[in-house]
Amino acid sequence: MTDATSQGGSRLTAADSRTKKRNASEKRFRAYGLAAIGTGLFFLVVLLTSIISNGSTAFMQTFIEVPVYLDPEALDPNGNRDPADISKVSTFGYNPLIQNAVFEQVQDKGIATDYEDAGDMRALISASAAAQLRDRVIANPDLIGETVDFQILASSRVDGYLKGRVSRDSITQDRNIDAGHLDLVDALREDGTVHKSFNFAFITGADASESRPEQAGLGVSMLGSLFMMLVVLFLALPIGVAASIYLEEFAPQNKFTDFIEVNISNLAAVPSIVFGILGLAAFIQFAHLPQSAPLVGGLTLTLMTLPTIVISTRASLKAVPPSIRDAALGVGASKMQSVFHHVLPLAMPGILTGTIIGLAQALGETAPLLLIGMVGYIATNYPEGVISGFMSPNSAMPAQIYEWAKRADPAYYERAWGGIIILLVFLLVMNVIAIILRRKFERRW
Amino acid sequence: MYDAPLRKTDVEANEIKISAKDVQVFYGDNHAIKDVSVELQDKTVTAFIGPSGCGKSTFLRCLNRMNDTIDVCRVEGLIALDGEDIYDKRVDPVQLRAKVGMVFQKPNPFPKSIYDNVAYGPRIHGLAKNKAELDDIVEKALRRGAIWNEVKDRLHAPGTGLSGGQQQRLCIARAVATEPEVLLMDEPCSALDPIATAQVEELIDELRTNYSVVIVTHSMQQAARVSQKTAFFHLGNLVEYGETSQIFTNPVDSRTESYITGRIG
């Protein structure tokens, strides 16, 4: 103080060395904070751009649109349009029709090509196209004998060529496709026969085998995730909330409850794969529930989510002011009435938020599913009903993404990223719901 | 030091409502209340005064067994309401609290409407057969709480939106809605401004016509104004109990005198 005045400046405006130091350190601290947030934001932007740039292409798919003549001699040799007979014709019966259709289109358009055989068109066409056409014919046998416009799924090489993943250089070693095919694609693309359009099958479809990435979709595993989340919601929420209410409001304070408390906190930190092993041992090996079933996945994820729900529920119960409990007891409410009429409604926003955060965590969990057989190529279609939805083998969204990411075909790479986009959209939606619910139920006291 | 009492309400009071004999309260190892014996009269305002931590609130909370909610708290001795031991094993504390209502230090209305705040007690005790009866009970309680005129047009507005003094009177209305016989008040005015305090004090005096009121207060003036009987607590002991006028003008114990003259506390 005396220093400042002796220097002749005002006592208030001239900062002494101590103040300067303090201000500098304060500024430094603020700079650290900004730097930390900036780094976080930078990586968030990097993450989002890489996810979107890598994954958005999965939402577009290449199709070849040509009229296909459904030859009655090949598809219905007996000529009676009996569905049983028609379904005896395998995809081998359809392949030549599709290849002919594409070949005729090439000739009709007068595109110069060295290929002289319709069979050479196979490289352009997805192995799944025949199955799709067959499904359509079986669903509507009257189409036989007619010429229908059909969106043929292009092979993943053609799709990759249109998306820039495949080039003439990259296919020199490829035995499935030649540079001549790419010339053909270029020509067909110019007249609109080959085009990209929105890929609904990616969102609604089932997983496909390793060699048919163009057909793979996330829809069935989405259902798997949905059934698992139903199990988690209907088990973890009531059990978790009941346990927290008991521990927080009713249980006596003693060594035993302390022990339980410590263990719940510890459980929240247990690696999820441990829960996977527990699920495998308890639900599959001991209880003999079916492997790979969303029911088992849901039960395992319930175990994993419970600590999260218990901790957040207890925190929000604790946050309800004790004066509210006193008020209820003071007018002669029983302990249970005071909890259910007053404390629980006030704690509801916190409980719901915790539950949804727990669900979102469970939705994105892969490791426990590894051990109960929900990761891998599970050849499955839509479950036939609710029971089969719970019991029949299925995968889950993150497990499906993991599965795609480890497959060899680079076409699966973009599927994995696309799957991540869908998963993130779900997580975003759940978080938004949590925020809306919290706003809606929040009451001040 | 001795303020003129309000004494607007004229009530004959002599019956013993609550009698406590050799009450001991322990918080774990802490002996909070030592050998307290006191007889509280019906239709009388009894004030508990004493320095902070002297055990007056603790003793008050024994009277409706609110201390049961504290795990480490242990009560010994006999407390009887109309001659019946309230710590008897067969007594349901919930039933007891319906008879012995309580108003707390901080106004604590439920985060519900004014109507629901008052109607809650009657609802859970099944005091009303239908909506009309419940409406009556609510109106009567709000009138007794001296707040009816202020809130009658907004019964369905949140109770938490009222001012502090109004909230406290709402809490009193809520407490009387269940038709208790005794009303315990734990420093009901400590969070209120002087005007709200005056309103609540007047209300307390009126409540004496129907209830036995026990009030814990830090303000000796308040004790002098509203109570007929005063009990002075010090370090867990009941030092002196008697007519308010006598305690404030002619205390027997030197500790009481020191406290009311401001030398200890």
d(C-alpha A197, C-alpha A82), whole Å: 34
pLDDT for residue B229: 92
Statement to judge: residues A173 and A230 lie in one domain:
no
When pLDDT is cut at 50, 70 and 90, the band that residue A5 belongs to is: very low
Statement to judge: residues A252 and A178 lie in one domain:
no
More confident residue, B161 or A32: A32
pLDDT of residue B12 exceeding 90: no
Helix (H) or strand (E) holding B203: helix B194-207
Expressed in angstroms, the distance from the first to the final Cα of chain B is: 15
Statement to judge: residues A260 and A380 lie in one domain:
yes
Using a CB–CB cutoff of 8 Å, tell me whether B126 touches chain A.
no
Q: For residue A338, which residues of chain B lie inside 8 Å, CB to CB? A: none
Q: How far is CA B176 from the centre of its chain?
A: 11
Average pLDDT of the segment spanning B158-187:
90
* A206 falls within a domain: no
* Contact flag B66-A329 (C-beta cutoff 8 Å): yes
Task: Return the CATH number at B69.
Answer: 3.40.50.300
List pLDDT tens digits, range A404-432: 999 988 889 999 999 999 999 999 999 99
pLDDT for residue B5: 63
* A4 falls within a domain: no
Q: Which two tokens stand for residue B255?
A: 């500790």
Q: For residue A325, which residues of chain B lie inside 8 Å, CB to CB? A: 69
Statement to judge: residues A97 and A240 lie in one domain:
no
Statement to judge: residues A270 and A165 lie in one domain:
no
Window 25-54 of A, Cβ < 8 Å to B: none
* B210 falls within a domain: yes
pLDDT for residue B116: 93
| pTM assigned to the model | 0.81
Query: Of B69, B106, B121, which is closest to A331 when you measure between CB atoms?
Result: B121
Q: For residue A444, which residues of chain B lie inside 8 Å, CB to CB? A: 111, 160
Q: Which of A32-46, A111-125, B88-102, B227-241 has the lowest mean pLDDT?
A: A111-125
DSSP string, A355-371: HHHHHHHHHT--HHHHH
pLDDT for residue B8: 58
Asked if residue B111 lies in contact with residue B167, where contact means CB atoms within 8 angstroms, the answer is: no
Q: For residue A335, which residues of chain B lie inside 8 Å, CB to CB? A: 69
Asked if residue A236 lies in contact with residue A358, where contact means CB atoms within 8 angstroms, the answer is: yes
Name the residue among A427, A423, A394 with its Cα closest to residue A227: A394
Q: Which residues contact A49 (CB under 8 A, 6 or more apart)?
A: none
Statement to judge: residues A187 and A236 lie in one domain:
no
Statement to judge: residues A245 and A309 lie in one domain:
yes
pLDDT of residue A52 exceeding 70: yes
pLDDT for residue A1: 46
Chain B residue with the nearest C-alpha to that of A249: B69
Return the number of other C-beta atoms located less than 10 Å from residue A284's C-beta: 20
Name the residue among A315, A339, A318 with its Cα closest to residue A327: A339
Average pLDDT of the segment spanning A381-389:
82
Q: How far is CA A135 from the centre of its chain?
A: 27
Name the residue among B218, B256, B257, B263 with its Cα closest to residue B234: B256
List pLDDT tens digits, range A332-372: 888 899 999 999 999 988 898 899 989 999 999 999 999 99
Average pLDDT of the segment spanning A46-52:
93
With left for phi above 0 and alpha for psi between -120 and 50, is residue B235 left, alpha or beta?
Answer: left
Asked if residue A268 lies in contact with residue A236, where contact means CB atoms within 8 angstroms, the answer is: no
Q: Which two tokens stand for residue B29?
A: 């190892």
Q: Looking at the DSSP assignment, which residues form a beta bridge with residue A67?
A: A149
Query: Of A326, A334, A342, which is closest to B104 when you measure between CB atoms?
Result: A326
pLDDT of residue B9 exceeding 80: no
Amino acid at A15: A
How far CA B148 is from CA of A73, B144, B166, in Å, comes to: 92, 8, 10
The total number of structural domains that make up chain A: 2
Asked if residue B15 lies in contact with residue B42, where contact means CB atoms within 8 angstroms, the answer is: yes
pLDDT of residue B204 exceeding 50: yes
Statement to judge: residues A351 and A234 lie in one domain:
yes
Statement to judge: residues A152 and A228 lie in one domain:
no
Statement to judge: residues A231 and A189 lie in one domain:
no
Q: What is the C-alpha radius of gyration for chain B, rounded to an integer number of angstroms?
A: 18
pLDDT for residue A417: 93
Average pLDDT of the segment spanning A262-273:
91
Using a CB–CB cutoff of 8 Å, tell me whether A19 touches chain B.
no
Q: Sign of the CA dihedral A270, A273, A277, A283?
A: positive
Using a CB–CB cutoff of 8 Å, tell me whether A344 touches chain B.
no
Statement to judge: residues A154 and A255 lie in one domain:
no
- Nearest 5°: the CA angle B161, B165, B168 is 85
Name the residue among B28, B92, B23, B89 with its Cα closest to residue B61: B23
Q: For residue B102, which residues of chain A lie inside 8 Å, CB to CB? A: 326, 330
Asked if residue A416 lies in contact with residue A314, where contact means CB atoms within 8 angstroms, the answer is: no
Q: Which of A25-29, A54-58, A91-95, B6-10 has the lowest mean pLDDT?
A: B6-10
* B252 falls within a domain: yes
d(C-alpha B107, C-alpha B189), whole Å: 9
pLDDT for residue A225: 93
Q: Which two tokens stand for residue B161?
A: 């939106």
* A332 falls within a domain: yes
pLDDT for residue B2: 58
Name the residue among A333, A356, A346, A361 with its Cα closest to residue A248: A346
Q: Which two tokens stand for residue B13?
A: 């009071």
pLDDT of residue A50 exceeding 90: yes
pLDDT for residue B167: 92
* Contact flag A332-B102 (C-beta cutoff 8 Å): no
State chain B's mean pLDDT as an integer.
Answer: 88
* Contact flag B108-A321 (C-beta cutoff 8 Å): yes
d(C-alpha B112, C-alpha B107), whole Å: 14
* B112 falls within a domain: yes
When pLDDT is cut at 50, 70 and 90, the band that residue A92 belongs to is: confident
DSSP string, A88-145: TS-HHHHHHHHHHHHHHHHHHTT---S--SGGGGGGGB-TTHHHHHHHHHHH-GGGTT
Using a CB–CB cutoff of 8 Å, tell me whether A4 touches chain B.
no
Name the residue with tokens 């504290």: B70
* B187 falls within a domain: yes
Q: For residue B110, which residues of chain A lie inside 8 Å, CB to CB? A: 324, 327-328, 342
Using a CB–CB cutoff of 8 Å, tell me whether B101 touches chain A.
yes
Q: Which of A171-175, B71-75, B157-161 has the lowest mean pLDDT?
A: A171-175
Expressed in angstroms, the distance from the first to the final Cα of chain A is: 47
Average pLDDT of the segment spanning A190-207:
88
pLDDT for residue A239: 96
The domain boundary residue, chosen from A140, A166, A198: A198
Query: Of B106, B124, B177, which is closest to A333 when you measure between CB atoms?
Result: B124
What ipTM is given for this predicted complex?
0.85
* B8 falls within a domain: no
d(C-alpha B123, C-alpha B132), whole Å: 13
Average pLDDT of the segment spanning B111-134:
91
* B264 falls within a domain: no
* A318 falls within a domain: yes
Can you give the residue range of the structural domain that contains A71? 58-198
Chain B residue with the nearest C-alpha to that of A330: B102
List pLDDT tens digits, range A98-126: 998 988 888 888 888 888 888 888 888 98
* Contact flag B71-A252 (C-beta cutoff 8 Å): yes
Cα atoms found within 13 Å of the Cα of residue A378, Cβ hemisphere only? 31
DSSP string, A211-258: T-GGG--SHHHHHHHHHHHHHHHHHHHHHHHHHHHIIIIIS--SHHHH
The domain boundary residue, chosen from A198, A229, A261: A198
Can you give the residue range of the structural domain that contains B66? 14-259
When pLDDT is cut at 50, 70 and 90, the band that residue B7 belongs to is: low
pLDDT of residue B44 exceeding 70: yes
Name the residue among B14, B102, B32, B28 with its Cα closest to residue B65: B102
Q: Sign of the CA dihedral A309, A253, A321, A327?
A: positive
Q: What own/partner pairs with CB < 8 Å and gap ≥ 24 does A77-83 have?
A: A81/A141, A81/A142, A81/A144, A83/A138, A83/A141
Using a CB–CB cutoff of 8 Å, tell me whether B102 touches chain A.
yes
- Nearest 5°: the CA angle B92, B180, B54 is 80
Statement to judge: residues A281 and A404 lie in one domain:
yes
Closest Cα in chain B, distance from residue A253 (Å): 7
* Contact flag A331-B178 (C-beta cutoff 8 Å): yes
Q: Looking at the DSSP assignment, which residues form a beta bridge with residue A61?
A: A197
When pLDDT is cut at 50, 70 and 90, the band that residue A4 belongs to is: very low
Q: Percent of chain B at pLDDT above 70?
A: 94
d(C-alpha A329, C-alpha B69), whole Å: 9
Query: Of B99, B101, B106, which is closest to A330 when you measure between CB atoms?
Result: B101
Q: How far is CA A300 from the centre of its chain?
A: 18
pLDDT for residue A445: 45
Average pLDDT of the segment spanning A14-35:
92
Average pLDDT of the segment spanning B51-62:
89
The total number of structural domains that make up chain B: 1
Q: Looking at the DSSP assignment, which residues form a beta bridge with residue B129?
A: none
* Contact flag A327-B104 (C-beta cutoff 8 Å): yes
Helix (H) or strand (E) holding A179: helix A179-190
